[in-house]
Amino acid sequence: MTAPNRYVLFLTSWLWAAVFGSLFAQPLETADVNYDTQIQTVLLYPAIGGDVTSPGRTLNPPVTELNTDSPLVLEFDDLSGDYRPFRARLVHCNADWQKSVLNDIEFTYEFNDYPITEYQVSMGTKVQYYHYRFQVPKVKLPGNYILVVVNERNPRQLILSRRFSTYQNRVSVGAAVQFSSSPQRQFRDQQIDLTLNYKGYQVISPQDDFKIIIRQNYRDDRTITGLKPTNVRVFDQVLEYRLFDLTNTIPGSNEYRFFDTRTVLSRSNFVDRIVPREDKTTAYVMIDQPRSIGGYIQFDDFNGRYVIDHRETQNGSVSADYIETVFTLKTAELPDGEVYVNGAFNNWRQNDRNRMTYDPASGSYRAAILLKQGVYNYVYAVARTSPQPLVDESLLEGNFSQTENDYEVFVYHRPPAGRADQLVAYRKVGFGKRR
């Protein structure tokens, strides 16, 4: 590319970024958000080996190695009933998920405006929808990104945003998970000890320059941040994080509840009954009870995630129907908080969609949520606003240090003279794995 062409591309990208960021009808959140209520079942996953069909593909988090052969793929459904053209764009963020100062041409290989052209119409479903698929373009730099989708006919209208990360392992991470070392918390908390080997990697002040984030079960609302090394082995170029102040501990939570609606021709796991109607089908999940009192019970789960599938056709993308799914929690009314059905299906957010209402006649909370057929994990959470905002799952689910959990370790560093944080190491580690 000639110098004049580079200048034109730089200027065009800069102007487009300025226009794109200032003309939205609502603020862009650098988080997983569905801005349009007609957009459902948003999936962002690495297509390992090009797989975009098997149901389990979506259990992998949107974290990929830079220049990998397995691209990230976005899928979502539009329940508006009409075809709508969409466009996508990438936003670069620092370790704290705040937008960086980088220009588009510093992290993209082409013009940062991508049409979403691949779509299908649902087949044989009572609730009609358009299913879209989009392969996320490659990026130049390791780090955090926001994938933003807008309405092509009205670019001011935000449709959805999703986080993803790319990494380039420049340092090595050792991680181990165990029960909390605190006698008071060893039966409910888990502790993550780390070692960071930066041999051969240029860093000025290793004890200060690395930013470490630990995430539990791929949830951005379950993280450990602000860790400082307890030991700096300068000659070995190793940092140790074995903290005695318990800042590297996190509640173990509980195994996730689940239900199976892959078929509506018969009852599946944890489905009490199915009621077919002309316009939609309703599935009643078996009545739940609080689990905070009593012992830990072991069973397998997806660690909060879900898969879309349709048992009859094996083509959940366009053949799975949207089912009105009714949840019932048998418990006394909680006077100082609201109860929600919490899960990845709602981006771990608490809003009108997953809020439960209390029925004094039956002595239970109930919520009806429209969900695409599949296997779902969920828990119940209590949200309070005073004395301070708090979302508490332990009140109804309990915390147990034996719980099987997945952990991710993200290591960020801003290179000397660099203008943004880069993801220089990524490591997954499990605790209590049984399969």
Which sequence spans correspond to the domains of the chain?
A: 3-167, 172-207+227-247+402-431, 257-397
- Per-residue pLDDT of 101-143, as tens digits, reads 999 999 999 999 999 999 999 999 999 999 999 999 999 999 9
What is the spatial distance between Cα 373 and Cα 6, in angstroms, rounded to a whole number? Answer: 48
pLDDT over 70 percentage in the chain: 94
Whether the predicted pLDDT of 34 surpasses 50? yes
What is the spatial distance between Cα 36 and Cα 356, in angstroms, rounded to a whole number? Answer: 21
Whether the predicted pLDDT of 14 surpasses 70? no
Quote the pLDDT of residue 16: 44
- Per-residue pLDDT of 341-394, as tens digits, reads 999 999 999 999 999 999 999 999 999 999 999 999 999 999 988 777 899 999
Quote the pLDDT of residue 178: 95
CATH topology of domain 3-167: Immunoglobulin-like (2.60.40)
CA-wise closest residue to 356 among 333, 373, 376, 372: 333
Whether the predicted pLDDT of 5 surpasses 60? no
What is the spatial distance between Cα 365 and Cα 357, in angstroms, rounded to a whole number? Answer: 5
Q: Please give the average per-residue pLDDT across 414-431, as a whole number.
A: 96
Quote the pLDDT of residue 336: 86
Whether the predicted pLDDT of 228 surpasses 70? yes
Q: What is the mean pLDDT of the chain?
A: 93
Q: Please give the average per-residue pLDDT across 304-325, as a whole number.
A: 97
Whether the predicted pLDDT of 3 surpasses 50? no
What is the spatial distance between Cα 417 and Cα 367, in angstroms, rounded to a whole number? Answer: 52
Neighbours of 403 (CB within 10 A): 24
Least confident of 9-23, 58-72, 153-167, 186-200: 9-23
Q: Please give the average per-residue pLDDT across 205-230, as a whole number.
A: 96
- Per-residue pLDDT of 240-276, as tens digits, reads 999 989 999 999 999 999 999 999 999 999 999 999 9
Whether the predicted pLDDT of 13 surpasses 60? no
